[in-house]
């Protein structure tokens, strides 16, 4: 039933196989089991395959290469992984947690991908006492959720954070006279798109913008010609799409085809994916999207290189680094206080951690120091908002024309 | 009659599960009972009429959404009643407008129905309520979910028993064998099909409603997962949709098989599911029960 996935473990496993044949082999006590159920098939598999699974694999690989997880007494314990496919079904995700907790009795459980599934497992994680470091859940309810389940930690903010950040960034650009006061917005009628447009609409109006185009489209739309031509004819200097990956790419392609060159071009999820430059044919310069990383930070560069080397692909520049950060936080908390769930949760809640995104200290069980808007600059997706945070780059406006 | 009694006794036995099993054991029972009801309810309509319905998740999701909308406004039993009524009315509307379609068109329509309802809910949530995800914070424990599902399963046993003994059961047998003959014999085809479709849909809606508190967060993408429809069909077909106990014999082993596969081969689920589909359709077109009967008859003929 257990999948020992790391190559580095193979020697150890064969040693254990031999050990099992010998009487009194006590090697099992030196491993720590980490369980997770992630969507490996079904509609969520795309997101999980980009932000979640590669980071889990990378982290386990790196920890085991170091000789295992460091414990407070200075010893190290190898990680053994138990993984399941939740098939993108909430019921299966819930049952997998029951299984990990009561059958496999794993030491720690890593969360699934996505807001919905993190919420689905939260009551169970709480009942079984496991700390839950939700790395890929975007919800404005995070403060209430952290109170409801006090061992749950929310690392990716809420729709308001992203909507407000974009509005204030655009507001500053308008003040400086770099863009006019007209904005064209399209949004997908699905969780993330709705949360963001709901937050951005009032924020943009408050910043003095006129939403000359404000349309919603159903998820799965593939023809964007009318949307782009509508935006092009609206006189807006700013085009915003609160979109999901297939549409983020489709809108970009359509804008290129139509020669639509607004001064600010913003797409939603997918804009920070490593494949985005390929979608644009290498002319992604200046496109804005959700997230961002401090590309000048040596730790981030090191992380990108390790991710590329171990998983064979680059991470995305939004949720990936945050997912990896949650794993570092867990690792350091275990090193300080051991395996006791209550102690680890307490440490995560109150401690300070040294991670690839810098020093992390949670506020009310939430990560609040987040990069909210990023922009492609010289082949990297760098963070531009919040502008007053260390490591922020200056936005390039107007965006260079496609061609 | 004995069949029903044995089935009820088994359900009563399963109801004791929470006193001896751990959380995962209860989770397994919930999954197995839920798919058993889904497959039985599906076969109730699709078995005799041979209309392959892919609308299971449309009703299942509607049940879950009803809970998400009403769970804070109404006491739990009334929420369930509302879900049953909404599922029933929906099935009546759908049935009235589509049950005159020939088989293949019905399949296509039923598949589209789930998508239609999903888009309608999305449209409503976006343009009227301005939110998409909804939270279900109910203090229902897994064992409560299991017991409610078992009660529903008991209802299914009684309904199928009644159908088998009543005039409507006889009418269905004729319809299944030959619609033209049935019509000439004075059976009201449309009405009989409609009754069954509504019954089956209400049961499916209730499964979704009862299970949804386990998910905490509900959005159309989560509750209208087409896989539920496909799994239900394959389970009912494997067991044999025309036999009374066929769906149970398909649902329980397949559910356990999928559970085992998800742990043993977490990276290959979709491929294995596809192979299984092909296998069932080619090797056991009428289900396991029918295949066993055929084997037995062959043996007798030889003896």
The verdict on A132 and A189 lying in the same domain is no
Taking CA–CA distances from A120, the nearest residue in chain B reads B215
Q: Looking at the structure, tell me whether residues A248 and A281 fall in a common domain.
A: yes
Placement of tokens 């239900």 in the chain: B232
Residues A193, A270, single domain; the answer is: yes
Instruction: Judge whether B124 is closer than 8 Å to chain A, CB to CB.
Output: no
In a domain, A403, yes or no: no
Range of A343's domain?
7-158+319-361
Averaged pLDDT of chain A: 90
Chain B hits for A83, Cβ within 8 Å: 266
**A355 and A249: one domain?**
no
Residue A390 lies in a domain: no
Q: Say whether both A145 and A91 belong to one domain.
A: yes
Q: Is residue A400 part of a domain?
A: no
Q: Is A397 contained in some domain?
A: no
Taking only residues 221 to 250 of chain B, the set having a beta carbon closer than 8 angstroms to any beta carbon of chain A reads 221-223, 225, 227-228
ipTM of the complex: 0.85
pLDDT by residue (tens digit) across A247-284? 999 999 999 999 999 999 999 999 999 999 999 999 99
pLDDT value of position A192: 81
Residue of B nearest to A196 (CA): B131
Q: Is B57 on the interface with A (CB under 8 A)?
A: no
**Radius of gyration of the CA atoms of chain B, in A:** 19
DSSP codes of every residue in B225-246: -THHHHHHHHHHHHH-TTSTTH
Looking at the fold, whether A140 and A178 belong to one and the same domain comes out as: no
Where chain B has pLDDT below 70, the residues are: 1, 103
Judge if the upstream peptide bond of residue A398 is cis by omega within 30 degrees of 0: yes
Nearest to A51 by CA among A111, A2, A107: A111
Do A380 and A263 share a domain, yes or no?
Answer: yes
Residue A307 lies in a domain: no
Record: contact B266-A102, CB cut-off 8 A: no
For A328-353, what is the mean pLDDT?
96
Residue A402 belongs to some domain of the structure:
no
- Tell me the per-residue pLDDT of A43-85, one tens digit each, with 9 for 90 and over: 888 889 999 999 999 999 999 999 999 999 999 999 999 999 9
Question: What is the spatial distance between Cα A142 and Cα A165, in angstroms, rounded to a whole number?
Answer: 18
Residue owning tokens 């392959």: B52
Q: Residue A191 is nearest to which of B31, B133, B211, comparing CB atoms?
A: B133
Domain annotation for chain B: domains and CATH numbers: 2-302 (1.10.3470)
| Strands A31-38, A76-85: pairing kind | parallel
Task: Enumerate the residues of chain A whose CB falls inside 8 A of the CB of residue B211.
Answer: 91
Go through chain B and tell me how many residues it has.
303
Q: Examine the domain organization and report whether A29 and A152 are in the same domain.
A: yes
Q: Which residues contact A189 (CB under 8 A, 6 or more apart)?
A: A216, A217, A218, A219, B122, B123, B126, B132
> According to the model, what pLDDT value does residue A360 have?
95
A87: domain CATH number is 3.40.50.2300
Quickly state the pLDDT bin for A13 (edges 50, 70, 90): very low
Q: Report yes or no on A33 lying in a domain.
A: yes
Total structural domains within chain A: 2
Model confidence at A2, in pLDDT bands (50, 70, 90)? very low
* A85 → closest Cβ in B123, B131, B262: B262
CA-CA distance, B50 to B39, in Å (whole number)?
14
- Bond from prior residue into A386 cis (ω within 30 degrees of 0): yes
A58 in the Ramachandran plot: left (φ > 0), alpha (ψ -120 to 50) or beta?
Answer: alpha
| pLDDT at res. A23 | 39
A184 and A135 co-located in one domain: no
- The span from the CA of B284 to the CA of B272, in Å, is 17
Q: What is the per-residue pLDDT for A8? A: 42
A46 in reach of chain B (CB within 8 A): no
- Based on the fold, state whether residues A267 and A354 are members of the same structural domain: no
Question: CB B122 to CB A218 under 8 A?
Answer: yes
User: Cα separation of B193 and B302, whole Å?
Assistant: 40
Q: What is the pLDDT of residue B98?
A: 82
Are A90 and B215 in contact (CB < 8 Å)? yes
Domain membership flag for residue A281: yes
Same domain for A45 and A105, yes or no, is: yes
pLDDT (0 to 100) of residue A403? 79
> Are A42 and B225 within 8 A, CB to CB?
yes
Hey, is the C-beta of A220 within 8 angstroms of any chain B C-beta? no
A52, A89, A105, A140: best to mutate for the B interface, most B CBs within 10 A: A89
Nearest CA to A244 among B132, B68, B65, B268? B132
pLDDT in the model for residue A96: 94
Which DSSP string corresponds to B122-188?
HHHIIIII----EE------HHHHHHHHHHHHHHHHHHHHHHHHSHHHHHHHHHHH-HHHHHHTT--
Is B221 in Cβ contact with A116 (below 8 Å)?
Answer: yes
Q: Is B2 helix (H, G, I), strand (E, B) or coil?
A: helix
The 10 Å CB-count burial string (b at 16+, else e) for A362-397 is beebbbeebbbbbbbbeebbbbbbbeeeebbbebbb
Whether residues A179 and A32 share a domain: the answer is: no
Q: For residue B1, what pLDDT is reported? A: 67
- Which of left, alpha, beta for A41 (phi over 0: left; psi -120 to 50: alpha)? beta
Nearest chain A residue (CA) to B228: A89
Within 10 Å of residue B86's Cβ, how many Cβ atoms? 20
Q: pLDDT tens digit string along A352-403?
A: 999 999 999 999 999 999 999 999 999 999 999 999 999 999 999 899 999 7
Measured between CB atoms, does B127 come within 8 Å of chain A?
yes
- Residues of chain B with Cβ-Cβ distance to A123 below 8 Å are 216
């Amino acid at each position: 039933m257990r999948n020992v996935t790391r190559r580095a473990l193979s020697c150890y496993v064969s040693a254990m196989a031999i050990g099992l044949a010998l009487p009194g082999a006590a090697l099992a006590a030196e491993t720590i089991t980490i369980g997770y159920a992630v969507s490996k098939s079904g509609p969520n598999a795309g997101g999980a395959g980009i932000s979640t699974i590669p980071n889990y694999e990378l982290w386990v690989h790196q920890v085991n290469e170091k000789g295992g997880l460091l414990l407070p007494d200075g010893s190290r314990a190898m990680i053994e992984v138990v993984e399941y496919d939740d098939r993108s079904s909430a019921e299966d995700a819930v049952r997998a947690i029951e299984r990990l907790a009561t059958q496999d009795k794993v030491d720690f459980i890593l969360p699934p991908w996505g807001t919905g599934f993190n919420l689905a497992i939260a009551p169970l994680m709480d009942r079984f006492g496991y700390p839950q470091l939700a790395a890929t859940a975007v919800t404005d309810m995070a403060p209430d959720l952290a109170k409801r389940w006090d061992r749950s930690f929310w690392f990716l903010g809420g729709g308001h954070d992203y909507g407000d950040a974009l509005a204030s960034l655009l507001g500053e650009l308008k003040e400086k006279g770099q863009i006019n006061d007209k904005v064209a917005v399209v949004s997908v009628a699905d969780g993330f798109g709705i949360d963001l447009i709901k937050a951005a609409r009032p924020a943009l109006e408050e910043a003095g913008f006129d939403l000359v185009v404000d349309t919603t489209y159903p998820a799965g739309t593939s023809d964007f010609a009318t949307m782009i031509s509508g935006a092009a004819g609206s006189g807006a200097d700013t085009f915003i799409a609160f979109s999901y990956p297939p549409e983020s790419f489709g809108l970009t392609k359509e804008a290129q085809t139509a020669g639509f060159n607004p001064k600010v071009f913003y797409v939603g999820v997918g804009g920070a994916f490593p494949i985005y430059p390929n979608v644009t044919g290498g002319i992604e310069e200046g496109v804005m999207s959700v997230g961002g990383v401090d590309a000048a930070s040596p730790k981030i560069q090191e992380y990108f290189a390790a991710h590329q080397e171990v998983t064979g692909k680059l991470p995305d520049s939004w949720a990936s680094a945050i997912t990896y950060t949650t794993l570092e936080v867990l690792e350091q908390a275990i090193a300080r206080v051991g395996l006791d769930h209550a102690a680890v949760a307490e440490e995560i809640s109150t401690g300070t951690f040294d991670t690839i995104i810098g020093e992390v200290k949670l506020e009310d069980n939430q990560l609040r120091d987040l990069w909210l808007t990023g922009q492609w600059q010289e082949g990297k997706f760098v963070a531009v908002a919040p502008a007053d945070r260390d490591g922020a780059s200056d936005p390039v406006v107007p965006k260079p024309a496609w061609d | 009659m004995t069949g029903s009694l044995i089935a009820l006794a088994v359900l009563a036995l399963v109801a004791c599960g929470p006193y001896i099993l751990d959380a995962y054991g209860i989770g397994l029972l919930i999954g197995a009972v839920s798919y058993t009801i889904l497959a039985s309810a599906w076969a109730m309509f699709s078995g005799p009429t041979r209309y392959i319905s892919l609308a299971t998740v449309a009703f299942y999701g509607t049940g879950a959404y009803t809970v998400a909308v009403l769970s804070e406004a109404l006491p739990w039993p009334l929420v369930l009643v509302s879900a049953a009524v909404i599922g029933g009315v929906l099935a009546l509307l759908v049935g009235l407008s589509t049950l005159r379609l020939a088989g293949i068109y019905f399949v296509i329509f039923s598949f589209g129905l789930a998508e239609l309802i999903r888009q309608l809910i999305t449209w409503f949530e976006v343009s009227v309520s301005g939110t998409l995800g909804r939270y279900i914070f109910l203090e229902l424990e897994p064992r409560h979910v299991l017991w409610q599902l078992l009660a529903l399963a008991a209802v299914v046993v009684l309904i199928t028993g009644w159908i088998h003994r009543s005039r409507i059961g006889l009418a269905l047998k004729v319809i299944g064998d030959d619609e033209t003959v049935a019509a000439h014999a004075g059976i009201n085809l449309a009405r009989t099909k409609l009754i069954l479709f509504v019954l089956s849909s209400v049961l499916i809606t209730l499964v979704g409603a009862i299970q949804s508190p386990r998910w905490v967060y509900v959005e159309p993408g989560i509750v209208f997962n087409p896989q539920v429809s496909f799994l239900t069909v394959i389970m009912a077909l494997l067991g044999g949709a025309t036999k009374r106990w066929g769906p149970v014999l398909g649902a329980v082993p397949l559910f356990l098989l999928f559970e085992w596969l998800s742990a043993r081969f977490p990276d290959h689920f979709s491929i294995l599911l596809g192979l299984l589909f092909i296998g069932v359709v080619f090797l056991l077109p009428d289900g396991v029960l029918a295949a066993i009967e055929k084997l037995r008859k062959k043996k007798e003929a030889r003896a």
